[in-house]
Amino acid sequence: MCGLQLDNPAVFLPWDITETSFLDLFQNHDVSRVGENGGFIVMNVTVFGERRCNLWIEFRNTVRIINIARDSYGEFYPDIIRSPKALKRTLMRSYKVFQSALIRELGNPNERKLNSPPSVIIKTANGG
């Protein structure tokens, strides 16, 4: 079965899960709907051994798109508060650490986009 293993909450999220099943599975967790007509479900998780990430999920019957955006810079925080230059270096180091975790778990990317934000979109078979 293919999917995404979350560290916290410790739940395996299969790609073929329906929105209803997802909401049942995460009924005791802080889940929000955002976007036009509540098109995305958003929750804060730990994934790939990272500290915190926002997980954005779009459904079309089953999971269509999962967007993972890191929102904790933990070990890099002291550098962030020093200066704008230090902030840029720190965010780049942080991005490289997160990218390494993604490659370790998911393999090398099959698509690259220049000037994209520091998040990763995982397209499922249903997502096109």
Q: What is the pLDDT, as a whole number, of residue 78?
A: 54
The CA distance from 44 to 31, in Å, is 8
Q: What is the pLDDT, as a whole number, of residue 21?
A: 92
pLDDT > 60? residue 126: no
pLDDT > 70? residue 23: yes
pLDDT > 50? residue 81: yes
β strands within 16-115, DSSP E: 31-34, 40-47, 53-60, 62-70
> For residue 45, with 0-12 CB atoms within 10 Å meaning exposed, 13-18 middle and 19 or more buried, which class applies?
buried
CA atoms within 13 A on the CB side of 106: 21
Largest CA distance in the chain: 46
pLDDT-derived band at 48 (thresholds 50, 70, 90) equals confident
pLDDT > 60? residue 76: no
The CA distance from 46 to 83, in Å, is 28
Can you give the pTM of this predicted structure?
0.66
